[in-house]
Amino acid sequence: MKSIVRRDTGESYREFLKRLAEAEGIEAKDAAALLRMDRKRPKKTSHEDWKSPLDDDAEITKLKDGRTALAYKAENAVDMETGAIVAVTTHSGAAADTSTVQETVIEAGIAVAGLIAEKTPEGKYEVHPEGLEEVVADQGYHSNEGMVGMVELEVRSYLAEPDRGPRNGEGKEAEKAAVYANRRRIEGDRGKRLQRQRGERIERNFAHPFDTGGLDRLYVRGRENVHKKFLIQAAACNLALLMRSKYGSGKPRAAHDRAAEVLLMILAVIKAAEDIFTSTSAYFHCICLPAGGTSEIVG
């Protein structure tokens, strides 16, 4: 953020503060005074006024903890049944979810359509012949335009609706019909079940690239390079899912640990069998002297 420049004048943030300080009669050479002035003034640091001098696509975004950063926004389209990532789209950091969801749905539809004719090793067609039919998302993606867009894409939407209070639908018949249809679906049993699955299966796919994969901070510039990073992480997530379903472990290190556990278990079984055999042999070789004076092996 220290390297950002004004879009209109091209001056750096420090130069901008000096200009404001001179206008207010503050000594511009005093860095401490500049910082005090900056803390007191209303913050106006937005992507509309500032940009990165090296990466025009990165936009200033307010993080959840209140800080600002130059950022991009990634969206994953996830299959509800398997948890596999179907499509990944990359957007500027300040882009709203309501404005990017249709692009992600279109990319997912194209990816699913390309798999309809693919057969499994057993010779079956696992992808539905109609392709993408339903979309499930949280309330951040809900908007009038988004609902109409889902109708135009011919998909059934199950988007959680935020509480906006009474709404005026006069003159917006298409938006009203789309919102009401979505509301009927999410209030049904199927809609509630899909929303529960969304929380269980979709959110974990964001933990893989961002928490485990470390994509919270990027060291590449340009949307194309950033998108490549997201694609690689999505491919790794799908590969881990495939390995977990086939071998029971999603990572080579976890598979190595499982192999060690199996080896230790085998050794424990062998040790237990040896103990049982030793105790049994000692019992069968016990010599008893009956009253007749002859000896015999009692088994």
Q: What are phi and psi of 222, to 5 degrees?
A: 95, 140
Q: How far apart are CA 230 and CA 53, in angstroms?
A: 23
Q: Name the DSSP letter for residue 45.
A: -
Residue of 85 and 250 predicted with greater confidence: 85
118 and 187 fall within a common domain: yes
Residue of 185 and 258 predicted with greater confidence: 185
> How far from 188 is each of 102, 192, 273, CA to CA, in Å?
24, 6, 57
291 and 183 fall within a common domain: no
Amino acid code (one letter) for 62: K
Q: How far apart are CA 132 and CA 79, in angstroms?
A: 10
Write down the pLDDT at residue 167: 78
25 and 98 fall within a common domain: no
- Is residue 64 in some structural domain? no
Range of the domain at 89: 71-247
Q: Residue 169 in contact with residue 177, Cβ under 8 Å?
A: no
- Is residue 33 in some structural domain? yes
Q: How confident is the model at residue 295 (pLDDT cuts 50, 70, 90)?
A: very low
Amino acid code (one letter) for 256: H
All residues at 6 or more sequence positions from 234 whose CB lies less than 8 Å from its CB, including other chains: 76, 85, 88, 209
The total of structural domains in the chain comes to 3
Count CB atoms within 10 A of the CB of residue 131. Answer: 17
166 and 18 fall within a common domain: no
196 and 75 fall within a common domain: yes
Q: Which of 205, 220, 247 corresponds to the end of one domain?
A: 247
Q: How far apart are CA 171 and CA 165, in angstroms?
A: 18
Report the predicted TM-score, pTM, of the whole model to 2 decimal places. 0.71
108 and 224 fall within a common domain: yes
Q: Which of 221, 247, 273 corresponds to the end of one domain?
A: 247
Percentage of the residues of the chain whose pLDDT score is greater than 90:
14
102 and 178 fall within a common domain: yes
Q: Length of the chain in residues, anyone?
A: 299
Pairing between β-strand 287-288 and β-strand 50-51 as defined by DSSP bridges: unpaired
231 and 259 fall within a common domain: no
